[in-house]
Amino acid sequence: MIGCGTVGSGVLDLLQRREEDLTRLLGRPIRVVRIVVRNPSKPRHHLASLISSGVEISGEPRRVTRDPGVELVVELAGGRDEPKTWILDAIEHGRDVVTANKATLAFHGAELFAQARAKRRCIYYEASVAAAIPIIEMLSNGLVANQMTSLSAILNGTCNYILTRMEFANLDYSAALAEAQAKGFAEADPTLDVSGGDSAHKLALLAGIVTRSHIPVESIYTEGLERITREDMEFVRQFNYSIKMLAIAKRNDQGSWELRVHPTLIPRSEILAQVRDEFNAVYMKGDAVGPMLIYGKGAGGLPTASSVVADIVRAAKGERGTPNAHMGVTPALVPIERIELRNYIRMTVLDVPGVLGRITSFFGMRHISISSIHQPEARVNQPVPVVLLTHKTSEHVVAEALRDLETARLLTRAPTRIRIEE
Ligand code: HSE
């Protein structure tokens, strides 16, 4: 095992708890023989019994990737580029690999899967997306008979936790993030969570499975939730919406895919609006099965470890996966500018005569149709929020209108725009 933090400790815990059952199931025990950690001299009381039973703790990944006594390498260290070299080294030395590392696979998956294929090795990665939810298994096997046509997913537990706490406990963004970190949901660098990067890594992997190709993570439009405030929460509540960080993949009739990650307003009655705290969910559609929903814990030590152990068991059973899974041609992707959506736009203006008229004229000039406009009671010459909801409008038109508004210096600070999905 490389890495022994929150998830690694969960894996050791589960292997111990389920030892008897798994040994019976497989006809042989699963034994951890070596663990690589960044700082091997740090006291680790939870590993005491493993150390006394002969498990080696070292700081050298090659002790795991190259040791002839190791059959399977479990990479749980996190990071992006360094794990790639360990995974390649393990494959080169004839080992299969289990990893929970979505960043490494999203950025280097094409090379890693090709290398595994060339060496007839397997990379198992169930835990890399949506932690406890076996979504990789479902899309790779259970739903393989379908042309999947859309996925709308909550794929980051930290973002969902933050938004839930802002919505229901009235916390501000930083307090909610601090709670998510304290609960062990966030990445070591939480910027990856809140910037939407982590969701984009996961969407790249899911879209790669359904399109049987490598989806470059850079091709996914990604926007974070850092700008969402309690004020937005209050407005959207009045309009009967919730804000969710959604990862969206949609196939059009020509076979091109829309891939995007951004905060999204969805009606409170929608099923995804009921997904709270660190839970993840994937609402998907396939041409044979129609709509389908899967829901479960998307972050945390044991929920993630559950999927890691499932992969260890798959590897021990010799399940080989699908060799050509990622070898197809990447489909055409629809650029974000070509997408049409409804929008929530919150602006802050000075309460002076004519300001509303001037603002709305910026939208009117570009034929952006406003479906409603809201402004709380204001005090003369004081900043006041104005919120517009638009009808469906092309992305590039909204972006141009917002740019013009900023240039015209009508706003006292940058506007917040959140896309709406019905
Ligand atoms: N930081 C991730 C999340 C953990 O919050 O979803 C699981 O990938």
Count other C-beta atoms under 10 Å from residue 381's C-beta: 9
Residue limits of CATH 3.40.50.720 in the chain: 6-124
202 assigned to active site = yes
Pairing of strands 257-267, 221-222: parallel
Distance CA 304, CA 6 (A): 9
Q: Is the CB of 153 under 6 A from ligand 1?
A: no
Count other C-beta atoms under 10 Å from residue 172's C-beta: 13
The chain-wide mean pLDDT, for the chain, equals: 95
**Which architecture does CATH list for 6-124?**
3-Layer(aba) Sandwich (3.40)
Distance CA 371, CA 343 (A): 10
Q: Which atom of ligand 1 is nearest to the CA of 185?
A: 5
Q: Which pLDDT value is given to residue 327?
A: 86
Q: Mean pLDDT throughout 7-25?
A: 97
Q: Is the CB of 193 under 6 A from ligand 1?
A: yes
Give the SS3 label for residue 278: coil
Q: Which of 99, 105, 159, 187 to mutate to test the pocket of ligand 1 (most atoms within 8 A of CB)?
A: 187
* Cα 139 to ligand 1 centre (Å): 20
Q: What is the DSSP string of 303-368?
A: HHHHHHHHHHHHHHHT----TTTT-BPPPPB--GGG-EEEEEEEEEEE--TTHHHHHHHHHHHTTP
Q: Is the CB of 186 under 6 A from ligand 1?
A: yes
Residue limits of CATH 3.30.360.10 in the chain: 135-298
For the stretch 179-231, pLDDT in tens is 999 998 988 889 999 999 999 999 999 999 999 999 999 999 999 999 999 99
Distance CA 363, CA 372 (A): 13
Residue 112 pLDDT > 80: yes
Which residues have CB under 8 Å from 22's CB, separation 6+? 15, 29, 30, 309, 313
Which residue among 84, 202, 244, 297 is the active-site one?
A: 202
Q: Which pLDDT value is given to residue 381?
A: 80
Residue 38 structure tokens: 């960044």
Q: Which pLDDT value is given to residue 110?
A: 94
Distance CA 274, CA 412 (A): 35
Which one-letter DSSP state was computed for residue 126? G
How buried is 288 (Cβ within 10 angstroms: 0-12 exposed, 13-18 middle, 19+ buried)? exposed
Which one-letter DSSP state was computed for residue 27? T
Distance CA 166, CA 276 (A): 11
CATH of domain 337-420: 3.30.70.260
**8 A C-beta contact, residue 373 and residue 343:** no
Residue limits of CATH 3.30.70.260 in the chain: 337-420
Q: Which pLDDT value is given to residue 346?
A: 97
List strand residue ranges (DSSP E) for 109-174, in order: 123-124, 148-154
> Which residue from 50, 249, 43 is spatially nearest to 155, judged by alpha carbons?
249
Q: Mean pLDDT throughout 89-97?
A: 97
Q: Mean pLDDT throughout 23-43?
A: 94
**Which architecture does CATH list for 135-298?**
2-Layer Sandwich (3.30)
Residue 382 pLDDT > 90: no
Residue 127 structure tokens: 């835990």
Q: Which residues of 22-56 are buried (b: 16+ CB within 10 A; e: fewer)?
A: beeeeeeebebebbbbeeeeeebeebeebeeeebb
Residue 238 structure tokens: 């009045």
Distance CA 340, CA 140 (A): 30
Distance CA 303, CA 127 (A): 9
For the stretch 303-349, pLDDT in tens is 999 999 999 999 999 999 887 788 889 999 999 999 999 999 999 99
Q: Which pLDDT value is given to residue 371?
A: 95
Distance CA 95, CA 120 (A): 10
Q: Mean pLDDT throughout 72-97?
A: 96
Q: Is the CB of 299 under 6 A from ligand 1?
A: yes
Q: Which pLDDT value is given to residue 42?
A: 87
